[in-house]
Amino acid sequence: MAQNINPFLEQQTTGIVKENDISKRPQSDSHAVTKRLHKELMTLMMSPDKSISAFPEGENLFRWIGTIMGPKDSVYETLKFKLSFQFPNSYPYTAPLVKFITPCFHPNVDTNGNICLDILKDKWSALYDVRTILLSIQALLGEPNIDSPLNALAAETWSKKDDYHKYVMDMYKEVQIN
Amino acid sequence: MRPLARQELPTKAVFYSKDTSVSHKIMASASEDVETTRGDGGESPNTKDDEKKEESLLECNICLDTAKDAVVSLCGHLFCWPCLHQWLETRPNHQVCPVCKAAISKEKVVPLYGRGSTKQEDPRDKVPPRPAGQRTEPEPGNNFSGFGFGDSGFHMSFGIGAFPFGFFTSTFNIGEPRPNVGPHGSPQYMEEQFLSKVFLWLALLFIAWLLYA
């Protein structure tokens, strides 16, 4: 169990708190989160879909690395993107923090890899999981939301396919993790 | 069990396709692919797969585990009560079903009581008990039937006059209707008839005795 502790919780435990006090409530919560994350990992591993994958980063179940292939018939088609997932202790009641690790030129992704996607913000539902998030982001790559851009340049050039393609390729570089 | 799954998935897809936002379209396609994989599994004679599917029909939509203290929203989606309660607590101003985004509230969920479900109730310290099922009593039949004093309800008699001649009496009878007279021909009916005759004769004899005394 020790390795599956939420980083947020870890910070708390290093404080003044006594052993008995901390473990009562948060542990039962984080146990439920761990259980759900385990289930999600199982379904992802059983899934026949080769274009998306995700796995916990190291020993901590609260941090995952996800991979998506660019959607077919889009500028991103041959590209592989890595994303980081950070699950809060309140998961799945609140959305995980999802970021692009691989630099991605896209109207709804900023230069730090932050993603603007409704289901990760106000439209989040406890029903969504890593798989559906990955599928959503994959689809977002092919169908950007031009009206609320994080990257204004990408939003402007979206209609000019050749320029856009060049930008995407300039920015893209494969990232190796461990 | 399988037709249930078939019915549920298309409705999801219909719902999402109504919505124009990108993410919802994705969810629609995602649920479609779930449907196809389920369909494929159903064709194979693998009993383990079938069992798994039947289990997943009873899984909570939030913790993805078999629903404990199960409740169903009015839109028909199954949850553990602790899970749903926490979901509602997370967003008190915007209470929607996690599956179909229909408006839901604590008062509008129905608990599911399986056989022996009360035994395995675990002590939950911070989650309030799940709302109880509502049970309304059937309407009492309107079969008031005339004479004889019942033994329930409130009766009050009120009279003017000297003892034997209580002619101006009135009776207030507040409360439940009187118990039914036994059906014709039944032993209860016969007994009642007999008793009423006996008391009638007794009363007449008593009056006659008073007059001649």
Each residue's pLDDT tens digit, B153-198 = 565 665 555 555 555 555 555 555 555 555 666 778 888 889 999 9
Q: Mean pLDDT in chain A? A: 84
More confident residue, B7 or B133: B133
- Residue A148 binned pLDDT confidence (cut-offs 50, 70, 90): confident
Quick check: B66 and B59 in contact, CB under 8 A? yes
B173: in domain: yes
Distance, in Å, from the CA atom of A154 to the CA atom of A174, rounded to the nearest integer, reads: 20
Distance, in Å, from the CA atom of A139 to the CA atom of A135, rounded to the nearest integer, reads: 6
- 10 Å CB burial of residue B210 (0-12, 13-18, 19+) is exposed
B63: in domain: no
Quick check: B28 and B10 in contact, CB under 8 A? no
B100: DSSP letter:
T
B143: in domain: no
Q: What CATH number should be reported for the domain holding residue B93?
A: 3.30.40.10
CB-facing half-sphere around the CA of B210: CA atoms within 13 A: 10
Element spanning A45, H or E? helix A25-46
B62: in domain: no
More confident residue, A173 or B159: A173
Q: In this predicted structure, which of A7-11, A85-89, A138-142, B122-126 has the lowest mean pLDDT?
A: B122-126
| Contacts B67 to A, Cβ<8 Å | none
- 10 Å CB burial of residue A177 (0-12, 13-18, 19+) is exposed
How confident is the model at residue B154, as a pLDDT? 60
What percentage of residues in chain A have a pLDDT greater than 70?
A: 82
How confident is the model at residue A59, as a pLDDT? 87
Q: In this predicted structure, which of A8-17, B64-73, B91-100 has the lowest mean pLDDT?
A: A8-17
How confident is the model at residue B52, as a pLDDT? 58
Cα-Cα-Cα-Cα torsion A156, A160, A165, A167, nearest 10 degrees, comes to: -40
| Contacts A36 to B, Cβ<8 Å | 63-65
Would you give the distance in Å from CA A173 to the centre of its chain?
A: 18
More confident residue, A41 or A29: A41
Is the bond into A92 cis (omega within 30 degrees of 0)? yes
How confident is the model at residue B186, as a pLDDT? 74
Please check whether residue A66 touches B, CB under 8 A. Answer: no
How confident is the model at residue B35, as a pLDDT? 42
For domain A29-177, give the CATH number.
3.10.110.10
List pLDDT tens digits, range B17-33.
Answer: 333 344 444 444 444 44
- Is the confidence at residue A177, as pLDDT, over 80? no
B64: in domain: no
Q: In this predicted structure, which of A54-63, A88-97, B109-118, B168-177 has the lowest mean pLDDT?
A: B168-177
Domain boundaries, chain A: 29-177
B180: containing domain: 163-212
Say what the ipTM of the complex is. 0.71
When CB atoms are compared, the residue of A40, A127, A135 closest to B99 is A127
In total, how many domains does chain B have?
Answer: 3
Q: In this predicted structure, which of A93-102, A103-112, B47-56, B144-153 has the lowest mean pLDDT?
A: B144-153
Distance, in Å, from the CA atom of B52 to the CA atom of B55, rounded to the nearest integer, reads: 5
How far is the alpha carbon of B108 from chain A, nearest alpha carbon, in Å? Answer: 19
B155: in domain: no
B96: in domain: yes
| Contacts B99 to A, Cβ<8 Å | 125, 127
Distance, in Å, from the CA atom of B23 to the CA atom of B20, rounded to the nearest integer, reads: 9
The catalytic site residues of A sit at 116
- 10 Å CB burial of residue B182 (0-12, 13-18, 19+) is middle
Residues B77 and B50 in one domain: no
Please check whether residue B48 touches A, CB under 8 A. Answer: no
By C-alpha distance, which of A131, A129, A137, A126 is closest to A45?
A: A131
Residues B33 and B76 in one domain: no
The span from the first CA to the last CA of chain B, in angstroms, equals 86
The string over B4-26, giving b where at least 16 C-beta atoms fall within 10 Å of a residue's C-beta and e elsewhere, is ebeeebeebbebbeeeeebbbbb
- Residue B69 binned pLDDT confidence (cut-offs 50, 70, 90): confident
B145: in domain: no
